[in-house]
């Protein structure tokens, strides 16, 4: 492969897209094979091993690579198992928010008129509420649990998709291919489904990847305040809440889940940005 071909290939696949995508695949692997990868049971407690430091410390215990928490539970095993909760919420909540927001955005942008006005006013009203407070309120009403977290995030964040997809649909509707489809006799719903939606799909994919990062943050906030899954299920937010109380003499209990949360959100955000550069023909010029 010549140098010129290598340069063109690198431009087609940005380094940030490869790195962030690789990190997300690593998280997926950890979530799928957590019981096989985790050194010990994440719920196993041993008060004789409480607050052991990471492996590089002089008084570290063999087998506990990232130390233990105040109950003697292995931090690494809890981090790995917490990846399952984070990715499940990210996938389900973002997908449901995407379906709701994209459907309403397509209808508002394509049909316009009273349909657009009704959906736009609904979006304005919904976005007037603080999202984090509204999510806490919804989970408090629905009760704690994974399903409540997913529903709360989807109900709140569909507006992100709706506004962007509405604008993009309006731009696509003014293109000549829509007029051509009407000329050959396609119905309006057929045009929307077969012509407009495929051209809006790249934007939807980018928004979906960005929303996954947002969903991870919201789940961490809810688990931090004790409104996510049950307390015996490892979550990054729950580990951060516990680590905050022992930061002065067991910093690793806080730092490692906080680092995992930050890197995951950064990976989803960078993946979305790089994917936009990859699939958007205007940005590639």
d(CA 123, CA 117): 10
At residue 98 the predicted structure's pLDDT band, cuts being 50, 70 and 90, is: very high
Q: Residues of the chain with pLDDT > 90: what percent?
A: 46
With 0-12 / 13-18 / 19 or more C-beta atoms within 10 angstroms meaning exposed / middle / buried, residue 37 is: middle
Measuring CA to CA, which residue among 215, 255, 200 is closest to residue 66?
255
First to last CA, the chain: 24
- Specify the DSSP element, H or E, that contains 58: none
The dihedral built from the CA positions of residue 135, 209, 111 and 116, taken in this order, carries a sign that is positive
Give the position of tokens 């063109």: 8
- Asked whether 103 and 125 are in contact (CB, 8 A), the reply is no
- Specify the DSSP element, H or E, that contains 55: none
Give the position of tokens 């928010």: 97
Question: Regarding the domain delimited by 3-279, which CATH topology (the fold level of the hierarchy) does it fall under?
Answer: MetI-like fold (1.10.3720)
The pLDDT value recorded for residue 54 is 93
pLDDT in tens, 214-270: 999 999 988 888 887 877 789 999 999 999 988 888 899 999 999 999 999 999 999
The pLDDT value recorded for residue 166 is 93
Measuring CA to CA, which residue among 264, 248, 258 is closest to residue 223?
258
In 101-120, which positions are buried (b, 16+ CB within 10 angstroms) versus exposed (e)? bbebbbbbbbbeeeebeebe
Q: Which are the contacts of 134, defined by CB distance < 8 A and separation ≥ 6?
A: 152, 156
The beta strands (E) that lie in the chain are given as none
Mean pLDDT computed over every residue of the chain:
86
Does 14 or 223 have the greater pLDDT score?
A: 223
At residue 13 the predicted structure's pLDDT band, cuts being 50, 70 and 90, is: low
At residue 1 the predicted structure's pLDDT band, cuts being 50, 70 and 90, is: very low
Measuring CA to CA, which residue among 80, 82, 95 is closest to residue 153?
95
The pLDDT value recorded for residue 12 is 56
């Amino acid at each position: 492969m010549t140098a010129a071909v290598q340069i063109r290939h690198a431009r087609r696949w940005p380094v940030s897209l490869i790195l962030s995508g690789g990190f997300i695949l690593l998280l997926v692997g950890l979530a799928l094979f957590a019981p096989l990868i985790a050194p010990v049971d994440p719920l196993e407690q041993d008060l004789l091993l409480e607050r052991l430091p990471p492996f590089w410390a002089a008084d570290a215990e063999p087998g506990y690579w990232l130390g233990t928490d105040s109950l003697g539970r292995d931090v690494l095993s809890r981090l790995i198992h917490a990846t399952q909760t984070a990715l499940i919420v990210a996938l389900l909540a973002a997908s449901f928010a995407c379906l709701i927001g994209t459907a309403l955005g397509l209808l508002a942008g394509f049909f316009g008129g009273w349909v657009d006005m009704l959906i736009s006013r609904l979006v304005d009203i919904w976005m007037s509420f603080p999202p984090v407070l509204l999510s806490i309120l919804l989970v408090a009403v629905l009760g704690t649990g994974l399903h409540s977290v997913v529903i709360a995030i989807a109900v709140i964040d569909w507006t992100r998709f709706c506004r962007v997809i509405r604008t993009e649909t309006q731009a696509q509707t003014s293109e000549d291919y829509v007029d051509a489809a009407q000329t050959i006799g396609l119905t309006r719903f057929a045009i929307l489904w077969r012509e407009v939606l495929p051209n809006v799909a790249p934007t939807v994919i980018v928004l979906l990847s960005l929303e996954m990062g947002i969903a991870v943050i919201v789940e961490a906030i809810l688990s931090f305040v004790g409104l996510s899954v049950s307390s015996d299920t490892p979550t990054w937010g729950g580990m951060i809440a516990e680590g905050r109380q022992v930061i002065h003499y067991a910093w690793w209990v806080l730092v490692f889940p906080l680092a995992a949360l930050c890197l995951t959100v950064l990976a989803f955000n960078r993946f979305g940005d790089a994917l936009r550069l990859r699939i958007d023909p205007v940005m590639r010029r």
